[in-house]
Amino acid sequence: MRAILTGLVVGYGFMVMFISTAIKGVYQINFTGLVHHYGVGIEAMALAGGFFGLAQGVFSAMVGKLCDRCGASYVLLSGMLSAACAFLLFSSDNSFLTFLLGFLLFAAYAMAALTFVPVSILIDMYVMPERRQLAYVLATNGIAVGLMVLSPIWIYLEGYLSWPMLCSVLAAIFASLAVIPALLNCLGRTPVKIPVALRAVTAPLTQPNAQAVKHTTLASLPRYWYFDRRFLLAALAFSGCGTSMIFIDVHYVPAIQEILQHRTAANLLTGFSLSLLGLSEALGSLLIGYIVSKKVSLPLLLGMLFLLRCVTLMALVLWPEPVMVPLFGIFFGITYMGTVIIISRLAGTIFGYRYKGFIFGAFFLIHQLSGLLTAWLGSLLRVYCGSYFPVICFVAVWLALSAGASLLLSIMKNNPDAGTGSGNDSRFQVKYE
């Protein structure tokens, strides 16, 4: 019975991740069409995408607290209903202000409530500890598969369904899927066994344990931690991840259409490229995870990934041939999740793992802010220069700066009190949580 329940929970987590890609996917694919549908400029629509990412970051913190207080299944239920409300709003009103309201409030909340945090907590509630790692991998791969499978579908439907009709269909789908978390709420929480290794955490405090708890307070962070060179360099590096993410979400499709001069095969190649990007993202995350387990220098590996993104982008504009579009999807996709994996590790090595959540949250905020700036400045460059060439060069330069920051970080010594146990002579490469 438990095995069946585990399979159902993992399958539902995969399906939630899979369908959540539709929230950004239809905006991404229909970007040019939405500009004409709502009668706004490219910069206004791109800025909406940037603020969407920022709103998603803000809602992510709220979602975490709601999961702790109410349970993941209630958050997933609210995410499904919020997505249904967003698409219902899009289908019933052609006002751009209404679109912004639905996109930045309902859709952004739904995106935060249907991704990593609630799904991982749902797995913690229903899956035995020894099976959780595999369950996380299987469930989170729904995002990569969703990008790979759904992107061509949105491109195909763009020629057959109007924007209001497409939104009506998606509203019905999300409303129907809300039944599943409602049933999970009726089942209630299934208790799982606590492994022996974790029981020591709940044991009465001895003097050494009390000393360890004393060091977990955030109040002992350095007074000016935000001026720490390691933090600043890592933040600059991770900002390149936000920049490239927004480029894919907002500027990629119209840029490829322009590069291919709106040929008949442009939409087909774009969808194929996004599918390859999703497949490469899944394979790349496994590859980077394997390399990280070999205790390599994480900042050096991070710099190489950003450098590969930079070279791939420049190759796309220097050789604007159709064959470069799927190649871009492959090489760019390999690096897509790897930068997040590495930064999440580095977040624990700067001031110690007892501050990992706080520091990674600060990195994620910078990640979203850089995405917002890229959406806005990229749209301005496109409008005033009349081409996406300066936009791609702008993103490539930002990625080069991120690669440089990563390489500078690789030559810095680790914090001797970072909780890695490697001392003054260690670098950011050993003993992870």
- 244-281 pLDDT per residue, tens: 988 987 788 888 888 877 565 666 777 788 778 878 88
Cα separation values, 338 from 158, 281, 282, 320, 343, Å: 31, 8, 10, 27, 9
* Distance from C-alpha of 409 to C-alpha of 432, rounded to nearest angstrom: 17
* Distance from C-alpha of 352 to C-alpha of 418, rounded to nearest angstrom: 4
Q: What is the DSSP letter of 388?
A: S
Task: Kindly report the backbone phi and psi dihedral angles of residue 139, in degrees, each rounded to the nearest multiple of 5, phi listed first.
Answer: -70, -45
Residues 6+ apart with CB under 8 A from 227: none
Q: What is the pLDDT of residue 80?
A: 93
* Distance from C-alpha of 196 to C-alpha of 259, rounded to nearest angstrom: 58
* Distance from C-alpha of 31 to C-alpha of 33, rounded to nearest angstrom: 5
Number of neighbours of residue 403 by Cβ within 10 angstroms: 22
Residues 6+ apart with CB under 8 A from 219: none
Q: What is the pLDDT of residue 187?
A: 61
Q: What is the pLDDT of residue 240?
A: 92
Q: Could you give the angle at the alpha carbon of 259 between the alpha carbons of 329 and 369, nearest 5°? A: 60
Give the pair of three-digit tokens for residue 54: 């920022």
Tell me the residue type at 409. L
Q: What is the pLDDT of residue 212?
A: 41
pTM above 0.85, yes or no: no
* Distance from C-alpha of 291 to C-alpha of 288, rounded to nearest angstrom: 5
Q: Is 192 helix (H, G, I), strand (E, B) or coil?
A: coil
R_g of the chain computed on alpha carbons: 22
* Distance from C-alpha of 260 to C-alpha of 237, rounded to nearest angstrom: 31
Q: Could you give the angle at the alpha carbon of 147 between the alpha carbons of 257 and 312, nearest 5°? A: 55
Give the pair of three-digit tokens for residue 246: 């927004």
Give the pair of three-digit tokens for residue 17: 């991740």
Residues 6+ apart with CB under 8 A from 340: 241
Q: What is the pLDDT of residue 175?
A: 92
Q: Could you give the angle at the alpha carbon of 175 between the alpha carbons of 169 and 179, nearest 5°? A: 140
- pLDDT tens-digit readout, 21-37: 999 888 888 888 899 99
Give Cα 9 distance to the centre of its chain. Answer: 22
Cα separation values, 103 from 14, 85, 168, 182, 252, Å: 23, 10, 15, 24, 20
Q: What is the pLDDT of residue 134?
A: 65
Tell me the residue type at 344. S
Q: Is 223 helix (H, G, I), strand (E, B) or coil?
A: coil
* Distance from C-alpha of 63 to C-alpha of 116, rounded to nearest angstrom: 10
Q: Which residues of the chain have pLDDT under 50?
A: 190-219, 414-433
Helix ranges (DSSP H) in 102-214 = 108-113, 116-126, 129-158, 163-177, 179-187, 196-202, 207-214
Nearest residue to 142 (alpha-carbon basis) of 114, 184, 167: 114
Burial of 76 (0-12, 13-18, 19+ CB in 10 A): buried
Residues 6+ apart with CB under 8 A from 343: 234, 237, 238, 241, 302, 360, 363
Q: Could you give the angle at the alpha carbon of 36 between the alpha carbons of 32 and 38, nearest 5°? A: 115
* Distance from C-alpha of 72 to C-alpha of 339, rounded to nearest angstrom: 27
